[in-house]
Structure 1
């Protein structure tokens, strides 16, 4: 009997143990599975978002490049018109073109071709600089596609050719020269068509920018022409330009990924997951998207280009993006097998989960209150702090000063020196403010180049004293550090008391108006970008 009771209790203990083990193991499994799925989803979203943003950035870079190329073509055409004396003396034009070619260093040739296809002026650029071709070296280009397609254009139309490799004597020039030709008709002083102006743009300049952005991709970046051939392939450069070789016409993105190419031709932009990988793509230089200005129009001779981000399925990112729920379950079981034999590990896991959850909540709270780049209050938090301060001072009617600040020339710094330098300017401004305000003052970032300082217990004169300390810091940096730009900011200060019953928005708007008036005065004589030294590639830049 005792043996039966012992056996019964032993069985019950085993049953309870197995039951508890099953319950805790199941709970642990469900929790780990949910975490894995959420982590995978977040990483998938991050990868897909990053790749989409990357192809969009590539599109913007190329579109902006085309805009600048068209502007350069109009410039050299204007130079031809100004130097045309109707006596076939183009020496002044040649001088302008030589200087322009040496300054830009991206144009292999600048030419004026008459209506019969004869080169009248040709400026060549090599590593040693720009030279003017001798009259004996000028050639007839009437049979070239860019001449036949551009000579019939209307005034103020600009022809933009396909991107291909330069040919000499029906052979690909070595080393290869990716080339785009821009052309526009030239009408002489009497309004008659006299020929076309042609720029041979060395597209290595553009492709190097594409390559720089492509280096940040989690996969591979392709640039395709309208026929589905590679113009750029970050993974295998040998695949590019196969359309220039009759023996390699089968080597194309269109043939390697026919289903994806069909989607690209149909949808123009989007994302797709297939058995071969994950694709994000967008068309660039489409005729319906690219506009120069109201007075000129582009005639695209190359069809649409396409930027493609490709993540193969055999990579870690590709496996993550294509994983099924069954794959995730197997991964969770494999990674946590030892934990199922240790119930105590469940408690450790829960503690870790709470810690992770707390860190995530703190991170969310931080980014909801602070500007991620500068570490100061963001717009929403700044207004909340100001409102709280306003309410707390209603009884004692102490003064509060609001200083509205706008960075001068941030757009010029971003445009001409790059956004990394623009970020440096923003951080310098922020640091100067934080180092000079009092402990009970605070600063908030309202937007890209706008900031707000709140001075508790200071009138306008006192706030101005603090602002002048900040300005002195900026001036010291301008005098002692050899930066490519000047640090400058406009400000406007408005003071009110806690019991004034004024609206905060009204007060800030008044400070904004004062800032704007100061900015108009400062910008008259302000040159944010410092002059370049002789020999710099881009030359002096315009005033802010």
Structure 2
């Protein structure tokens, strides 16, 4: 008998088809649904990370705004503004001490200064994040020609000046190592409600830039404040003037990214971009998290491989179980077939049929055994009549 005609082969094929097709369809569907879910989860995680970092920057600058308002309206400042000529120096020194204590406590400001209505520095504290010191009076400078003084002194009461985020300069030269600075300033008024100058604080922007790591931060003009490649940062005309900007990096996506929230993806890379609100200004920055699309899909690919392996193992187990079950079903039938062939040739008629099965195969074996016994009795009767 050819192998494909055997009952065992047919049962194995049938069992394999019944097992493999549903498993394959279910597996493909599960892989598609789970892969989509894992990809969506990865993108959501990246988007939430961008949102958290953007909110951290906004929260940081909101606290800076609060510090500025406190310093401009503190009792020590009001005492100085009310002081007469004989008290002025002692009150000025008290103001310096307040600035010093504030600088040491906060550790996020390069400078805290009070400039009078002419632009002359009256009190100034400098810090390098480790130590803070009062600048001697003979070293205080006239800042009347600096843009931040001119723009702040023109503002109305309680309006806040926020400078562009740029690299700090000393004597017209950019400091090295770079010191990114953003300045917050506000007008102050004497007891007659006349402008009495400004309070200005220079914020150490590294405090919120360094935690970004290799994430990109872009200012409202499209120039990088932070970039994984340091030579691509600070390309604006007021800084290094390299000209490298958002359009240079993403020419096809420039307008879709700047100042907006969203996600962009290609086969090569995936971007999550989030608008960063800068308190005190109408300008917004943009935070960008970029990852290789393949990195995002690693978990998806790993899941597909694992699920495929599990599916293959399951099918192999099903085939083995099918082979064992088919063997259990067909082995007694094959035994009975051999017995029948032997008996038809006059052989093994005296050998009893022993099959331990309580199902239909067992009933068939019992019927076969009864037939064999009947045949033996018939042969015995024939012999007796012939003798």
Cα separation, 2, equivalents of 1:100 and 1:255: 41
Report 1:19-418 matches (<5 A). Answer: 20-79=15-74, 80-84=77-81, 85-87=83-85, 88-89=88-89, 90-126=92-128, 129-208=131-210, 210-211=211-212, 221-233=215-227, 235-243=228-236, 244-246=239-241, 248-250=242-244, 252-265=245-258, 268-285=260-277, 290=279, 298-300=280-282, 303-315=283-295, 317-318=296-297, 335=309, 339=313, 342=316, 344=318
Task: Could you tell me which runs of 5 or more consecutive residues in structure 2 were left unpaired when the two chains were aligned.
Answer: 323-387
- Classify the secondary structure of the residue corresponding to 2:142: coil
Cα separation, 1, equivalents of 2:7 and 2:28: 31
Label 1:346 to 1:101 Cα distance change in 2 as closer, same or farther (>3 A). Answer: farther
Cα separation, 2, equivalents of 1:230 and 1:318: 28
CA RMSD of aligned residues (A): 3.3
Cα separation, 2, equivalents of 1:17 and 1:59: 61
Cα separation, 1, equivalents of 2:165 and 2:135: 24
Contact 1:111 1:119 in 2 (8 A): yes
Partner in structure 1 of residue 356 of structure 2:
none
Deviation, structure 1 residue 121:
2.0
Contact 2:217 2:286 in 1 (8 A): yes
Label 1:86 to 1:278 Cα distance change in 2 as closer, same or farther (>3 A). Answer: farther
Contact 2:271 2:291 in 1 (8 A): yes
Partner in structure 2 of residue 516 of structure 1:
none
Structure number with the bigger relative contact order (C-alpha 8 A, sep ≥ 6) is 2
Cα separation, 2, equivalents of 1:141 and 1:274: 50
Task: Could you tell me which runs of 5 or more consecutive residues in structure 1 were left unpaired when the two chains were aligned.
Answer: 1-5, 215-219, 291-297, 349-544
Structure 1, residues 463-501: CA drift from partner, whole Å, max 9, x if none?
Answer: xxxxxxxxxxxxxxxxxxxxxxxxxxxxxxxxxxxxxxx
Label 1:332 to 1:24 Cα distance change in 2 as closer, same or farther (>3 A). Answer: farther
Cα separation, 2, equivalents of 1:339 and 1:259: 46
Cα separation, 2, equivalents of 1:86 and 1:149: 29
Contact 2:3 2:9 in 1 (8 A): no
Name the TM-score, length of structure 2 as normaliser. Answer: 0.70
Cα separation, 1, equivalents of 2:178 and 2:319: 62
Structure 1, residues 417-455: CA drift from partner, whole Å, max 9, x if none?
Answer: xxxxxxxxxxxxxxxxxxxxxxxxxxxxxxxxxxxxxxx
Q: How many residues align?
A: 313
Contact 1:32 1:332 in 2 (8 A): no
Partner in structure 2 of residue 529 of structure 1:
none
Cα separation, 1, equivalents of 2:129 and 2:252: 44
- Classify the secondary structure of the residue corresponding to 2:187: strand
Contact 1:109 1:124 in 2 (8 A): yes
